[in-house]
């Protein structure tokens, strides 16, 4: 049975609206991802500057200081677990 013009038009509108919403959704998700990347990048820069200024030891790089701090924190956490 052939479809009426009204049904065909309604289906075309539905496809167009769905496509439009999909494009908007993709734009929003992509935009949020870019914002998130920039926020993390900015935080990392601030963190590195702080570590460099206050937590590095003589001749130690920022990466080495972060690794040392991570290991020290793990040791403190293990000591807490071993206490009764």
> Which residue is listed with tokens 């920022």?
62
Mean pLDDT of 5-15: 93
What is the spatial distance between Cα 3 and Cα 21, in angstroms, rounded to a whole number?
A: 26
CA 79 to CA 10: how far, in whole Å?
68
Number of domains in the chain: 1
Pull the structure tokens for residue 64. 């080495």
pTM here? Answer: 0.65
Chain segment 21-57, per-residue pLDDT in tens: 999 999 999 999 999 999 999 999 999 999 999 999 9
- pLDDT for 82 equals 86
Domain enclosing residue 28, as ranges: 5-82
60-76 pLDDT, tens digit each: 999 999 999 999 999 99
């Amino acid at each position: 049975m052939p479809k009426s013009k009204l049904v065909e038009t309604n289906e075309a509108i539905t496809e167009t609206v769905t496509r439009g919403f999909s494009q908007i959704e993709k734009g929003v998700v992509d935009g949020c991802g870019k914002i998130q990347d920039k926020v993390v990048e900015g935080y990392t820069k601030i963190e590195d500057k702080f570590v460099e200024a206050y937590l590095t030891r003589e001749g130690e790089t920022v990466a080495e200081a972060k690794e040392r701090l991570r290991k020290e924190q793990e040791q403190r956490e293990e000591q807490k677990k071993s206490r009764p």
